[in-house]
Amino acid sequence: MIDIIFGHYNYWIVIFLMMAGFYTVISRGNLIKKIAGLNIFQTSVFLLYISIGYVSEGTTPIIAEGFTKYSNPLPHVLILTAIVVSVSTIALGLALVVRIKEAYGTIEEDEIHEQDMSL
Amino acid sequence: MKNITVTVLIDALIDITLLAFLAITAIAIIHMRNLFVIIMLFGIFSLHSAGLFVVMDAADVAFTEAAVGAGISTVLMLATLALTKNHEEKKPPHHARLPLLVVLITGGALVYGTYDIPSFGDPMSPAQQHVKPHYIERSIEETGVANIVTAVLASYRGYDTLGEVTVIFTAGIGVMLLIGGRLLRRKKQEDD
């Protein structure tokens, strides 16, 4: 039992963060806050990947004398790509928010919905 | 040997502290309604996760997260806040039960899934077996780069990085199409 807790608490807290982001995305109507939630979700996925690549007593994967244990470089590379992609998606999402504000005069989801309905 | 145990314990302590900070920040983001505060908290969240990446031996990821995640994302969000001039989130009309239920079920399923994942930091886990030994042993003679992450990024998986550039390019075009014409339109209106 102690083994499971000590070996998995990292994943559990990461899942908690993921769900906090997910909750913000689906329960709040403000578009900027939704994007902040999406960002939290993405960051916690990064944390999950890096956790899987971690080796205890290991070191950063840069070859140097005196070290034999390195953490897995492959998740690091994938997440480097993912971080940049996440900024691209955030930039696009925020540009959409700016356009929605121009077109509807609000960034609250329910007000946008009302305006659509009254057309 | 004793030194190594102490290092592992210190690592675990820093790890738990940073994870707790992250959890507190995430809860604060859910509760806050002032958008400026939310964006600043988000910057803090990114910075803490960058710290966590350092603890988990991912220095390159930490650099990128601190520069791109905490820096550029926060600036972009602040710019959006300035453009939309909306500083306060509306109070949600009712207590959201359904989202909470969905989140609890999803989270429960994910936690159940973690029981099959090998322990945190296990050097014998399947993720450490497949291509990792090849990268660690051969990358310096095959690419001549001491930093394995750089070797994989630019050499072994160079096409991935090319794809990444394509994504940034597409997003850039998208942003320009969406709000690039804004200033021109406004100028036209002023001229008319």
What is the per-residue pLDDT across B151-162, written as a single tens digit (0 to 9) for each? 888 888 888 888
Tokens of B115: 């029981």
Whether the CB of B19 is below 8 Å from some CB of chain A: the reply is yes
Contact A51, A10 (CB under 8 A): yes
| Nearest residue to A12 (alpha-carbon basis) of B47, B112, B104 | B112
Residue B81 reports pLDDT greater than 70: yes
Is the minimum CB–CB distance between B57 and chain A shorter than 8 Å?
yes
Q: Are A89 and A45 in contact (CB under 8 A)?
A: no
| Residues in chain A within 8 Å Cβ distance of B175 | 91-92, 95
Residue A70 pairs in a beta bridge with A59
DSSP A85-102: HHHHHHHHHHHHHHHHHH
How many angstroms separate the CA of residue B192 from the nearest CA in chain A?
19
Average pLDDT of chain A?
88
Q: Contact A8/B114, CB-based, under 8 Å?
A: yes
What percentage of chain A carries pLDDT values higher than 70? 100
Per-residue pLDDT averaged across B6-22, rounded? Answer: 86
Of the candidates A27, A77, A21, A26, the one whose C-alpha atom is nearest the C-alpha of residue A44 is A21
- Are the beta carbons of A71 and B57 closer than 8 angstroms? yes
Pick the CATH number of A2-117 from 2.40.50.1070, 1.10.287.3510, 3.30.930.10, 1.10.3720.10: 1.10.287.3510
The chain-wide mean pLDDT, for chain B, equals: 86
Residue B185 scores a pLDDT above 80: no
DSSP A29: -
The rounded distance, in Å, linking the Cα atoms of B180 and A36 is 23
Q: Could you tell me which chain A residue has the CA closest to the CA of B88?
A: A30
pLDDT digits (tens, 9 = 90+) for B98-117: 888 999 999 999 999 888 88
Test mutation, B103, B105, B156, B165, chain A, max A CBs within 10 A: B103
Which residues pair with residue A62 across a beta bridge?
B147
User: B91: helix, coil or strand?
Assistant: coil
B166-184, pLDDT tens digit by residue? Answer: 999 999 999 998 887 766 6
Q: What is the pLDDT of residue B95?
A: 67
For residue B78, the distance in angstroms to the closest alpha carbon of chain A comes to 10
* B145-152 mean pLDDT: 86
B89: pLDDT strictly greater than 80: no
Q: In B44-61, which positions are buried (b, 16+ CB within 10 angstroms) versus exposed (e)? A: bbbbbbbbbbbbbbbbbb
Question: Rounded CA gap, B127 and B120, in Å?
Answer: 11
d(CA B1, nearest CA chain A) in Å: 11
| Spatial CA neighbour of A68 closest among B3, B39, B123, B51 | B123
